[in-house]
A and B are shown apart, each in its own frame.
Chain A
Amino acid sequence: MMNLDNINTLLLESAGVGLALLDPDGFDILMSNRRFEEWFPDTVGLGKSVDQVLENIDLDKLRSKLSADKPYTFETSFQMKRRSVNLAVTCSRHTHNDAAVVIMECQNISKMKELEYMIESYSKMIEKQNRVLQKEKERTEKLLLNLMPKSVYQELKTFGVTTPQRYDEASIFMLDFVGFTDMAIAQDPAGLISELNDIFTAFDRIAEQFGCERIKTMGDAYMAVSGIPEANPEHALNIARFAVLTLRYIKRRNSVHSQKWVCRIGINSGPVIGSIVGVQKYVYDIFGPGVNLAARMETLSEPEEITLCEDMHRLIKNEFHFSERGEIEVKGFGKKQIFTLDAARSAVQMSNDDMIDNLPI
């Protein structure tokens, strides 16, 4: 036995770590602490080489590491009664009184392995939950974006409130159906609503093509706008083209359906104010003289016609054909020159008609 007087016995017997001293040539186990003996009984002083006791140890590697004066580390496991114990082992070479000795330290890392496993498993669980939450968030965002323009949504998200915005350059489209309440299909409300839904869905798709956006529907009325919240120099043209195509769509639809829908359309260009209305129930709506005048135009409109006044006519007169209806007193606005947009004679590119052809009717 080697003289180990000045090796700290307390350290040797320290609770958690299994320690053994190895012969530097044959790696026989010369001595060990209590913990090591608990794990590997009957190994000391029996001329047993360490590779007979520990699995996974590579003696060649151990030898080459130690001769380079570097520690050799590896992980191993063994069965202790019913438990599988994982060890992290470090072997290092030391010199004591001119004699070389190899110290082998074995840390029980079973608990650490269990914790590592659990951490990984919980991270995965949380990542999965995060993905679900993210999806839910995107779904909510998509719903809200249907209710209000993106810039307004962002303002709401950032500040929690929104301020009404005035837009000086905007155009408004308003449509309703003549005699809606008297329509024969009113006997079958579900069928009626289903048809209305088809029509408005088609309108939404046309609107998308022309830089217009639906603001709302109310019963049989449909309201769209162009030029808000992003300014668009073509807002008046957009709304006029949209009006022409909705009218054509309705006519085409009527040609194949027994139920005839007769609409009238009012369009106008003028200032509007866009704002969220409500706290719990958000509605993005537009207000102002531009909107009111569009509503008056719709009221003035004859069935299957698009009616507008001088304000908007000025902006689009070179692009479409019109017939003049003369000066009419418009409630709240005084006398206005009123026009009817001649949809049949106005050439909105044929490619756009193709688009209507592709819509379900």
Chain B
Amino acid sequence: MATMFERYGGFATVSKVVMAFYDKALDSDVIGVYFENVEMPALIDHQTKFISQVMGGPASFSDDVLERVHAPLKINGAAFDEMLSVLQETLEDFDMAEPDINTILGELRARRSRVVHA
């Protein structure tokens, strides 16, 4: 059976989703500040691979790596929730099916404790 990653068109689609996501995220007053002075091309690249991974595509980040890169950012729970809602909105903009959106958000929620450190 094709993975979600394959069904939605692979990296080409995921990279568009992730770029659109950061466009929204930068405008958000809750999480925008986390992305100030960040090298966006690298961040978008990593995030594309990560989202691809949770959609069943190639590339892999271990949860330990996830924790290591987020720990110094002292991200709080509210920011994490905002990130989820911005992502949900973006995924809906791309007409992804609700069960698929829930799968992706579920994968992210499962890693909450690795990302939130405040």
Contacts and interface: CB of A to CB of B under 8 A. Distances in A.
Contact of A118 (B26, B41, B58): B41
Interface in B29-51: 32-33, 35-37, 40-42, 44-45, 48-49
Interface in B57-115: 58-59
A280 to B, nearest CB: 26
Interface size class of B (residues with CB under 8 A): 10 to 19
Contact of B19 (A111, A122, A129): A111
Contacts, number: 38
B41 A117 contact: yes
Contacts of B5: none
Interface residues of A, number: 16
A155 to B, nearest CB: 34
A129 B40 CA distance: 25
Given A114-B19, A115-B15, A125 B41 contact: no
A48 B15 CA distance: 39
Interface string A92-130: 000000000000000000110111111001100100010
A281 interface: no
A83 interface: yes
Interface in A70-90: 81-84
A129 B11 CA distance: 16
A35 to B, nearest CB: 17
Contacts of A84: 37, 40
A117 B35 contact: no
Contacts of B44: 114, 117-118
Contacts of B19: 111, 114
B26 A82 contact: yes
A116 B58 CA distance: 20
Given A111-B19, A115-B15, A129-B58, A82 B36 contact: yes
A83 B11 contact: no
Contacts of A122: 11
B41 A82 contact: no
Contact of B45 (A82, A110, A121): A121
B88 to A, nearest CB: 21
A81 B28 CA distance: 11
Given A82-B26, A122-B11, A125-B59, A114 B32 contact: no
B58 A82 contact: no
Contacts of B15: 115, 118
A114 B18 CA distance: 11
A118 B32 contact: no
A164 to B, nearest CB: 42
Contacts of B40: 83-84, 110, 114
A125 B59 CA distance: 8
11 contacts: A84-B40, A110-B40, A111-B19, A113-B41, A114-B40, A114-B41, A114-B45, A118-B41, A118-B45, A118-B48, A125-B59
Interface of B: 11, 15, 19, 26, 32-33, 35-37, 40-42, 44-45, 48-49, 58-59
For the complex of A and B, 4 pairs with smallest distance between CB atoms:
A117-B41, A114-B41, A82-B36, A121-B45
